[in-house]
Amino acid sequence: MKKAKKLAAVLLTAALAMGTLAGGGMVSSAEELNELWTFETSNRELENLIILNTEMANDLNVLCNTTEGLLETDSKGQLIPGIASEWGTEDGGLTWTFKLREGVKWVDWQGNEKGDVTAQDWITALEWVMNAKKNGANNTSMPTTLIAGAGDYYNYTKDLSDEEAYALDKTKFLEMVGIEAPDDYTLIYHCVSNAPYFDTVATSACLYPMAQGFIDEVGVENVLSTGIEGLWYNGPYTLTEFVQGNTKTLTKNPLYWDTEAKLFDNVVIRIIEDTTRGYELYDAGELDHTDLSEATLRQIYDDEGHKYHDQLVEKMPRKYSYQMKFNYSKMKDDGTPDDNWNKAVANENFRKSIYYGLNLVPYLARTNFINPLHCENNAYTMKGLLYFSDGTEYTARVAEKLGLPESDGENPRRYDPDLAAECKAKAMEELEAQGVTFPIQIDYYIIAGAQNALDSATVLKQIFEEGLGSDYVTLNIDTYVSSQTQEVIDPQLQSFVINGWGADYGDIQNYLGQETLGEDTAYYSMNYTNINDATDETLLATWQEYTDMVNAANAIVDDLDARYDAYADAEAYMLEHAMTIPMSLEVAWQLTKVNDYTRSNAMYGIQNYMYKNWDTSVDAYTTEQYAEFAEEYNK
């Protein structure tokens, strides 16, 4: 078993954490916050209290504090023990064993003990998730794909009446599904096929526990409508106040298993209209951190005498990698194929001219005008998702394979106007021979009435025309009224969309698998790029080559470094052929009393808002302090 490797990782992480704590003493304030006052905007209010029943970030950001799963993620995004103290696989990811720690308790909202947390709670929970009538198909996709028999059990329950499905105990479930608990503190999952990344799924809501005692107490039919007073909690906090549209209060769980953890006495989450109100509340001392609108940020940044000027700090990137995704089977408004565009985008030199010819700095400055290149994205996979065993970050390996030059601090690394001009000349020659007319019309859709989106689109239009020439392309800014999916994507009207993907689990497959050819599970191919409808043979051959490379990487299950390296080859191939174009990362600015570099920071899972082991200061951190944190973190 690879438990030794895991144990070593755990010890190393602990040692690093201790070192960081010791080293961080130079810049940490002596006095930390006992109570954290934070916020969400009104469109991100908590909607669902049952963690197994929701897949929405606004719910999970709260609920990851009230229910705890098998594993946690640390500030570097590495898996660390949670309720499972050890875990591993001996057969390349086909069978996974988790050893649970004893003495973990379920409590009620006031912290009174309700029962022990045992392996049976994960069996109860998975039965709940995969029971179509109990959980309404929420959170089923990953278990269906990964756990043997899970999909079959779902289909079995789907055909039962509500009463029959509610009455099911776990007998049938355990017969059909690959999960077992040989004793109260050992949990075993059997996967459909080798899944060397399965442990990362343990940080997703679908593999969180639920106590049978809780279900029995409230009744099966009342589980989803249970209020905060009726829930059972095993996480670091209980939810002691929930006033929809105004306030949620998380209160430290007195029986939480990790007695060494640094927790707040209370975390108060306030609902605000927008970030402007957040700044007002921060200024009034009613929040401990705030995001900043562009106007507020400019106001503070441009005024060196402003009281917050020296407290402006850059946030860490959000976990979404934004890409420009071409539509390879575009339609016109009248429903007929847009042959001019479809021929153009099938031409590799045309795509490469865009890949090399766009100087995206003004576009990146829309997100971060102070350090636009901090938003630069040169990979398809999100930076920081995975690391090789020698510590090399995965997207750095991709950049190496692409041969990207080091940043000059002014221009994007892949920006190469000479190469773009060369590709443009070739593309024009090749496309003219196919009857394509210039300038090629590029249709880019934004939501109507959104000034911010319009400003960004206008900047992008300028970048296209300055970088590629108005004789070559024209970017048309079109609008949809309310639903991009229904009004633009379904009728295939867009030339491209810019879309961000955040990982569901910790494997590159979750990114690259969305772009493969001829596979139903490839979300972007099926919905956005429409590559399966393309007819150009050269284009399809390129895509097939990429798909084969991804599948070859998928097949490597016993050597993670080799697996990641094979994915890096596939990703580099994708980008070299400009099949999709990396656009940006989200790196914004804030005022804060929280050291973000101590927060859980996984590119997958649900735990980034787990208020555990956060370093804070009663005085706002300064720009200088944050620079030191960043330097220490990135060592």
Binding residues for other proteins, rule: CB under 8 A, are: 42, 47-50, 53-57, 132-133, 136-138, 140-141, 158, 223-227, 241, 243-247, 270-273, 277, 280-281, 284, 286, 483-486, 504, 520, 523, 527
Q: How far apart are CA 39 and CA 419, in angstroms?
A: 47
Question: SS3 of 361, please?
Answer: helix
The smaller minimum CB distance to other proteins, of residues 522 and 566, is found at: 522
Contacts of 493 (CB under 8 A, 6+ apart): 330, 331, 332, 333, 443, 445, 478, 487
Omega cis (within 30) before 439: yes
The smaller minimum CB distance to other proteins, of residues 246 and 538, is found at: 246
Q: How far apart are CA 397 and CA 568, in angstroms?
A: 7
Residue 210: φ, ψ to 5°: -145, 135
CB of 238 to other proteins, least distance (A): 17
* CB neighbour class for 45 (10 Å; exposed up to 12, middle 13-18, buried from 19): middle
CB of 284 to other proteins, least distance (A): 5
The smaller minimum CB distance to other proteins, of residues 272 and 420, is found at: 272
Contacts of 187 (CB under 8 A, 6+ apart): 70, 84, 97, 98, 100, 119, 122, 123, 179, 180, 181
CB of 103 to other proteins, least distance (A): 32
The smaller minimum CB distance to other proteins, of residues 119 and 130, is found at: 130
| Six token digits for residue 557 | 């299950």
The smaller minimum CB distance to other proteins, of residues 273 and 432, is found at: 273
String of DSSP letters for 384-442: TS-B-TTS-BHHHHHHHHHTPPPP-SSS-TT--HHHHHHHHHHHHHHHHHTT--SSEEE
The smaller minimum CB distance to other proteins, of residues 134 and 330, is found at: 134
CB 199 within 8 A of CB 79: yes
The smaller minimum CB distance to other proteins, of residues 398 and 503, is found at: 503
The DSSP bridge pattern shows strands 266-272 and 179-183 to be unpaired
Residue 396 CB coordination number (10 Å)? 17
The smaller minimum CB distance to other proteins, of residues 462 and 521, is found at: 521
CB of 230 to other proteins, least distance (A): 11
The smaller minimum CB distance to other proteins, of residues 271 and 345, is found at: 271
CB of 527 to other proteins, least distance (A): 8
Q: How far apart are CA 402 and CA 15, in angstroms?
A: 35
CB of 226 to other proteins, least distance (A): 8
CB of 138 to other proteins, least distance (A): 8
The smaller minimum CB distance to other proteins, of residues 49 and 210, is found at: 49
CB 218 within 8 A of CB 230: yes
- Please tell me the total number of residues recorded for the chain in this structure: 635
Residue of 396, 377, 368, 391 lying closest to 320 (CA atoms): 377
CB 80 within 8 A of CB 607: no
CB of 136 to other proteins, least distance (A): 5
